[in-house]
Each structure stands twice: as C-alpha cells, then as structure tokens.
C-alpha cells in the first residue's frame, strides 16, 4: 500500500510540474512584445511584377532591425524550429491579386507612384498583436507567425486602386473585406506564400500584444 501511495504521490507531483510548466509557457507567450514605436513608421515601398509563387505585388519593408528583433523574441518564447522570410515585406497588394487583367490595368510602376503620392512610405502603422496560424500537414502541424497592424491609410489606398481598376474595366478588384495587413515574422517552413489568402481572426489568432 505504501508503494502504491508513493507512486500516486509521484504521479501527482509530475502532473503539477507539467501544469506549472505549461502555465508558465503560456504566460510567457502572452506577454506583450515591447517594440520601439519609431520602427513602425518610415517603411520603404516595394513594388514587384506578378510572378508564380511570389507573395508581394506592392508592399512595405520595415526598418532592418525590426524583423530580427521580433524573431529572436518569438524564438525565446516558443523554442520552436522556425524559419524567417528571406525579405520580410508587409503586403499591400498580393502578387496573386495582380494575375490576369488587374496586373495589366494597374502596372507595378503606376501603383508604386500612386503609393508614393499617397505618402504610404510616411505612414505610422499601429501594431496590434503577434498572431499565429496553424494547420495540419502530412502528420505534423504547420505554423505561421505574423504581426497584425492597423493602417486606415492602407485600407483607403486599396480602395483607391480598386476604383482605378473599375474605371479601366476591371470591376470588384481589391475589395476583399477580410484582407488584413500583416508582417510575416516566421514559419515552420519557407512556403510563406501558401498562407494566403489569409483570414485573420483576432480573437483566436492573436497570441500577445505588440506595444
């Protein structure tokens, strides 16, 4: 009986230790990311012609120090095996959205000029949270971590491009109400483009605020 009691106490102790570990890990993951506000303004505009497997047609590239800092803090919290995008850019217009007629009526050079005229490279973005998407894949779980930002100026710019496209004969372009502006930070594999179209549920996807 004493042996059984000792086994029971030992098992209970292990459960408590496991619970404390998981609870501590969850608390750590949920702690706010402390980021200097200055790195969320003055992002560089990037324009690329549409291409297969490309993610960004028009986007904003953050200051060089932002993405590595976010990745290092994310890794310290999760200790997961992750990879970074080769060139972290926040998509304003996806390369896939420019396939077909839209890419003809809205050429990259014209979109870039319009973005500069709209002052998008001077916009102050408002970070919301570090978020994650997960999906099962071939017996494992894929993960994609990204920062969600609020940017009314970018919403207005997409609406402006949509109106330009409509005037040129391409209706209902760039008017997806679920489109979110996000900065890719890390993923479990290098196939970042496969996460789009990306539908973000801020209630369930956000892990920690970015302040």
Task: Please report whether residue 19 resides in a domain.
Answer: no
Q: Summarize pLDDT for 81-128 with one digit per residue, the tens.
A: 999 998 999 999 999 999 999 999 999 999 999 999 999 999 999 999
Residue 12 lies in a domain: no
pTM recorded for the entire structure: 0.86
CATH of the domain at 108: 3.90.1140
**Mean per-residue pLDDT, 18-32:** 56
pLDDT computed for residue 20 by the predictor: 34
Total domain count, the chain = 1
Is residue 149 a part of any domain in this protein? yes
Residue 15 domain flag: no
In a domain, 24, yes or no: no
Q: Answer yes or no: is 3 within a domain.
A: no
d(CA 24, CA 21) in angstroms, rounded, equals 5
Alpha-helical runs (H) found in the chain: 2-30, 66-78, 101-105, 108-117, 152-167, 202-205
Q: Domain for residue 13, yes or no?
A: no
Give the structural domain span for 113. Answer: 31-209
Give 131-141 pLDDT, tens digit per residue: 999 999 999 99
Contact (Cβ atoms closer than 8 angstroms) between residue 98 and residue 170? no
On whether residue 17 sits in a domain, the answer given is no
Q: Is pLDDT above 80 for 207?
A: yes
Residues 91, 174 contacting (CB under 8 angstroms): no
């Amino acid at each position: 009986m004493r042996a059984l009691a000792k086994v029971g106490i030992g098992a209970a102790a292990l459960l408590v230790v496991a619970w404390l570990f998981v609870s501590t890990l969850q608390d750590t993951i949920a702690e706010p990311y402390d980021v200097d506000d200055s790195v969320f303004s003055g992002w560089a505009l990037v324009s690329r012609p549409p291409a297969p497997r490309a993610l960004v047609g028009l986007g904003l590239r953050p200051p060089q120090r932002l993405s590595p800092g976010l990745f290092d803090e994310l890794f310290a919290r999760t200790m997961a095996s992750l990879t970074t995008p080769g060139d972290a850019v926040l998509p304003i217009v996806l390369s896939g959205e420019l396939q077909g007629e839209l890419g003809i009526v809205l050429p990259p050079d014209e979109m870039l000029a319009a973005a500069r005229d709209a002052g998008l490279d001077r916009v102050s973005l408002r970070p919301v949270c570090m978020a994650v998407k997960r999906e099962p894949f071939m017996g494992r779980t894929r993960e994609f971590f990204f920062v969600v930002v609020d940017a009314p100026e970018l919403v207005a710019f997409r609406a402006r491009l949509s109106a330009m496209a409509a005037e040129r004969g391409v209706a209902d372009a760039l008017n997806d109400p679920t489109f979110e502006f996000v900065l890719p930070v890390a993923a479990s594999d290098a196939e970042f483009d496969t996460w789009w179209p990306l539908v973000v549920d801020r209630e369930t996807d956000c892990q920690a605020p970015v302040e």
